[in-house]
Chain A
Amino acid sequence: MKLELRFFASLREALGVSQEAITIPDSVKTIADLRTHLIERGNPWAEVLAQSKVLRCALNQVMVDASTPLLENAEVAFFPPVTGG
């Protein structure tokens, strides 16, 4: 499956990446699976996306929880809890 990843704010800075096109193996089916898959890359991914960190995720620009299934060609964004207003 192909995905377009996006990273914002402190995650973008810590990873040094704002956007990345990736192809994931069939075993990666949900947002949670994707997070684990990225953590397996090692640092800085492992540290920045560590399960102990409170992160938010959006699938095709809608906030979703970790159990949400991924979709072909979806835009998946990871970011810290929002602080606007």
Chain B
Amino acid sequence: MSIRIQEKDFDVSAEIAALRKGDPRVGAVVTFLGTVRDMNDGSQVKGMTLEHYPGMTEKALQEILDQAKTRWDIYQTLVIHRVGPLLPEDQIVLVVVTSAHRGEAFAACEYIMDYLKTAAPFWKKEDTPEGARWVDARVTDDAAMARWTKK
């Protein structure tokens, strides 16, 4: 299990290669990559700045990965989340999950992202033509997380 919060960009291929290296049990690698859109809530987004809560961020992500490991038969997990200034098309977040079969890895990856969206202390501030604005949390993110507890 690996968690990294960083300003610098990351290489998806290199991260996947490193995560599954030396583990021949792996038959499935599922990856989620989040990137910066140039449009949000009807406004052009020229860039954004990501703030987080150092210390709590790592704890919250660790808890999410621990939960995923408990629920599904998965081997390795990786979360990289960038902070600081970002531009449209930039990579923001990477989640990688390895397992023997795809079903477990798909489910775990989606679960990790849904929880990250509602429980990990990151905040986006967008730079738009109308000025800088803090992004509002989405109700759909809470709904996405809630479906994991209904089962």
A residues within 8 Å of B by Cβ? 6, 8-10, 54, 58, 61-63, 77, 79-85
Contacts and interface: CB of A to CB of B under 8 A. Distances in A.
Contacts, number: 72
B137 interface: yes
Q: Among B51, B55, B118, B121, which residue has the most Cβ atoms of chain A within 10 A?
A: B121
Q: Which secondary structure dominates where chain B touches chain A?
A: mixed
A85 B119 CA distance: 11
Contacts of B125: 9
Contacts of B92: 85
B1 interface: no
6 contacts: A58-B56, A61-B55, A61-B56, A84-B120, A85-B113, A85-B120
Given A6-B53, A9-B51, A58-B56, A82 B34 contact: no
* Category for how many chain B residues contact A: 20 to 34
A74 to B, nearest CB: 13
Given A58-B53, A63-B60, A77-B53, A82 B123 contact: yes
